Amino acid sequence: MMDLKGVSVGFGAAYALRDVSVSIARGERLGIVGESGSGKSMLGLTMMGMVPDAARVEGAIALDGAQLARASERVWRRHRARKVAMIFQEPMAALNPLQRLGETVMEPLQVHLGLSRAAARDRTLELFAEVGIPDPEARLRQYPHEISGGQRQRVLIALALTCDPSLLIADEPTTALDAHVALRIIDLLVNLAASRQMALVFISHDLAAVARATERIAVMYGGEVIETGPTPQVLQDPQHPYTKGLLGARPGIGGETPGRGPDGRRKRLPTIPGTVPPLSALPAGCRFSGRCPVELPHCARVRPEPHRVSGNRIATCHLLGGRA
């Protein structure tokens, strides 16, 4: 339903996204994983048509058949909320502190869908129930500061669902939440995707969250998607050196059990040397060159081609071979 082909987003000579191709089918749950500066949030904004004015967008963005890469803000507005909706990391910042929760959710129902006040109120109560907000009647009259972070995120999800979008983009929706609350929010998003046949793009730096939330995963580095495939396969058997490094560095997922080695010293975590370079200083060839432990002499100069590892698994690395 959403299809990005060779999409680049540039600022001057630097690219925040370079040649990104991803597609999402109806009801599918896609995870986008990466560290700060990987371009994952920019990819989410691109799918919402919300890239900054200064950015240059190249490539093709199709949403239910409509071509949107060069669409105006007016055109995008017809699609936002109805087809694509988005939730963010910090629910307090996304809610108006002076507006009651009921008013906040009723507003788009009245403005976009033309519902009467009474009908909008009834629909809001249904939405609150659908996202698991207890005692919805009482919530209508409350303000954002009166409820917990997890409940706020649920209100934002209800708000995003007001116009029945077919794609929900969630950018770090659980990062600001406590672990057990985060699990509930993830499970809610998974259930909503199934019950509504709604596609979900789940953007996060948290591999454990993405593992739980998604069926397919795209790993980003330096503004490019460097590996995609079914989530369990990518996490269990990563192909790209960056994905391998990232999984190894996260305690409790890919690596060894913690404890002490035979020498009595504590086992160290495998690390990726260095840090993500700024966009303007990324190597022209493979974005990961310079930090890669298995780098070849031509990696920094020559861009690797996407390689089909198997079935629906693709990794972009010179070591794996040529074009998919």
Partner 1 sequence: MNALLQVRAVTRRYRMPRSSILRRGPVLTAIENVSFTLERGRTLGIVGESGSGKSTLARLIMAFEAPDEGEVLFDGKNLHALSSAELRLLRRRFQMVFQDPWGSLDPRHTVSWSIAEPLRATGAGEIGRRVDEALSQVGLRPQDGSKYPHEFSGGQRQRIAIARAIVTRPALLVADEAVSALDVSVQAQILNLLMDLQEDLGLAMVFISHDLPVVACLADDVLVMRAGQAIEAGPTAALISAPRAQYTRALLAAGGLMP
Distance CA 315, CA 17 (A): 17
Provide the token pair at 30: 């896609």
Site map 257..286 versus partner 1, x via CB under 8 A: -xx-----xxxxxxxx--xx----------
Q: Per rule CB under 8 A, is residue 251 in the interface with partner 1?
A: yes
| Residue 197 and residue 261 in contact, taking contact as beta carbons nearer than 8 Å | no
CB of 187 to partner 1, least distance (A): 11
Give the one residue of 57, 113, 253, 319 binding partner 1; rule: CB under 8 A: 253
Binding window for partner 1 (CB under 8 A); candidates: 22-30, 121-129, 135-143, 240-248: 240-248
Q: Pick the closer one to partner 1 by CB: 251 or 321.
A: 251
Distance CA 226, CA 20 (A): 9
Site map 193..232 versus partner 1, x via CB under 8 A: ------------x-xx--xx--------------------
Distance CA 106, CA 114 (A): 11
Binding window for partner 1 (CB under 8 A); candidates: 51-59, 126-134, 157-165, 253-261: 253-261
Distance CA 57, CA 266 (A): 48
Q: Which of 30, 25, 22, 4 is nearest to 200 (CA)?
A: 30
Q: Pick the closer one to partner 1 by CB: 51 or 272.
A: 272
Distance CA 244, CA 236 (A): 10
The SS3 of residue 216 is strand
CB of 139 to partner 1, least distance (A): 21
CB of 288 to partner 1, least distance (A): 11
Give how many residues touch partner 1 by CB under 8 A.
Answer: 32
Regarding beta strands 199-204 and 167-171, do their DSSP bridges make them parallel or antiparallel, or are they unpaired?
Answer: parallel
| Residue 31 and residue 214 in contact, taking contact as beta carbons nearer than 8 Å | yes
Q: Pick the closer one to partner 1 by CB: 198 or 211.
A: 211
CB of 95 to partner 1, least distance (A): 19
Q: Which of 8, 38, 11 is nearest to 222 (CA)?
A: 38
The SS3 of residue 270 is coil
Q: At what angle do helices 101-111 and 117-130 cross, to 10 degrees?
A: 120
Give the one residue of 250, 296, 300, 302 binding partner 1; rule: CB under 8 A: 250
CB of 32 to partner 1, least distance (A): 15
The SS3 of residue 156 is helix
CB of 191 to partner 1, least distance (A): 17
Q: Pick the closer one to partner 1 by CB: 138 or 269.
A: 269
* Segment 165 to 184, residues that bind partner 1, using CB under 8 A: 178-180, 182-183
Q: What amino acid occupies position 190?
A: V
Distance CA 21, CA 59 (A): 9
CB of 235 to partner 1, least distance (A): 9
Q: Which of 204, 171, 168 is nearest to 189 (CA)?
A: 168
Instruction: Report the interface residues with partner 1, using CB under 8 A.
Output: 35-36, 178-180, 182-183, 205, 207-208, 211-212, 245-246, 248-253, 258-259, 265-272, 275-276
